[in-house]
Amino acid sequence: MTTAAAPVPSPTVTEPWTGHAKGSAGYRRLLAALAFAGVATFAQLYSTQALLPGLAADLRVDAAQAALTVSLATLGLALAVLPWSFVADRIGRVPAMTVGVAGATVLGLLAPFAPGIGALLALRCLEGVALGAVPALAVAYLTEEVSTPHAALAAGTYVAGTTLGGLLGRLVAGPLSDVWGWRAAILAVSVLGAIAAAAFVALAPRQHGFVPLRATDDGARLGLRLSVTDAARLLGAQLRNRRLLALYFQAFTLMGGFVAIYNFLGFRLELPPFALPAAVTSLLFLAYLSGTFSSGFAARLSQRFGRGRVVVASMALMAAGALLTVVDWLPAILVGLVALTAGFFAAHGLGSGWTGALATTGRAQAAALYNLGYYAGSSLVGWLGGMVFQSFGWGWLAAGVAALALATAAVAAVVHPASDPARATGAASSAR
């Protein structure tokens, strides 16, 4: 007599990950974690920007040389964003960002003890390399872990949080430098970065939407090494897309002009007819709060009018703000700085989120290329702005920044369609 075979249980079907919904606990934790990562990154990255006049006087270098403490940090970051994207494809977004912010914090704590300008510049460049993990990976992390309809809004919220990080670093450093000098100011910002890095590690939710490359067929075939051919394929897909190229150009020109204004406005205002102390000029960075508002506001406007129109309008606002800083009247300069900052962060918030929406393969690499352009602009144009300022004066620097913004707006108007089909859906689904 045969016994009937026991029924075989059906395999458990795993529901595909659709992302944290807006308002959920995971959504809130993720945005809070990235906000702290933004503080740890951008407070340290730009901590010397509020200190440049005092640092130049103490180390006996000119304005352009002092600005290299910002430019080399952003250059290191620009060079690191692509390598970080490939590392994160192996180990995950959160582990890679954790390693980056921890390493940057250690280097930041060493920077105040640099004996001279050479050692300081070397430490700042290495710090930028470590900090590259966060901007290289944050948007990719968002788009994998947040539900698609809310990804664009989450990216705008993240960019708003980064403005607070940059603002905190400058507001802490500027007043302290008047009392205890630039070394103590950098040390204080590095301690702030360490606290923020610890908060990021504690809050970041476990990854659900990320699939490590080693777990895919390609990963099994390649082992621990991503082939040059496959790396070129991932990057080539981005570089053949003219709309993505326009966004990378936008990142380069707008960030470069923005940093040039902020790098050297302190030098202008500490000279006659203003003669303001560093503690007062550092308050100018409160204009960053306009960027905190504008990045989120622009994301909402784009859902109604399309990203292309809002991006072009943001660039026009940035150009107008740059030209207004030429006026030798402090209230006009403040209004111009607010307008420039609001326009820049509105365009940047949309551009960074749009990169993920347009990328059909290699989203981490698409974001990394955007950040490569962004920080290469900060490094190169930010430094060249000092040469223009020293040789020709503030008026030429401000006019050059306005011209860059308007030229970029013209490119955006031509390349991006008036009706943007991505505006209703946010970022595209993940693809590698």
Specify if 269 maps to a domain: yes
Query: What Å distances lie between residue 121 and 129, 170, 191, 420, 424, CA to CA?
Result: 13, 18, 20, 43, 44
Query: 118 lies in a domain?
Result: yes
pLDDT confidence of residue 389 = 92
Segments forming the whole domain that contains residue 318: 25-207+229-424
Which pLDDT belongs to residue 422? Answer: 44
φ and ψ at residue 425, rounded to 5 degrees: -110, -10
Per the confidence metrics, is the pTM higher than 0.85?
Answer: no
Return the bridge partners of 287, or none: none
CB 86 within 8 A of CB 127: no
Give the DSSP letter of residue 20. Answer: B
Residue 219 domain flag? no
Whether cis (ω within 30° of 0) applies to the bond prior to 16 is: no
- pLDDT at residue 400, rounded to an integer: 96
Question: 315 lies in a domain?
Answer: yes
* pLDDT at residue 314 in the model: 95
**Residue 290, in any domain of the structure:** yes
Per-10-residue mean pLDDT for the chain, 432 residues long?
A: 50 57 76 82 85 87 87 88 82 86 90 91 94 80 72 69 77 82 90 87 75 52 51 67 88 94 88 81 81 82 85 96 94 95 91 75 74 86 90 95 96 78 38 29
DSSP 150: H
Q: Does the residue 347 lie in any domain?
A: yes
Q: Domain of 99: which CATH number?
A: 1.20.1250.20
pLDDT of 219 reads 45
Structural domain count of the chain: 1
Q: Tell me the DSSP string of 353-418.
A: HHHHHH-SS-HHHHHHHHHHHHHHHHHHHHHHHHHHHHHH-HHHHHHHHHHHHHHHHHHHHHHS-S
Domain presence at residue 220: no
Question: Is residue 31 in some structural domain?
Answer: yes
Cβ atoms 398, 326 nearer than 8 A: yes
Q: Which residues contact 45 (CB under 8 A, 6 or more apart)?
A: 70, 73, 74, 77, 127, 128, 131, 166, 169
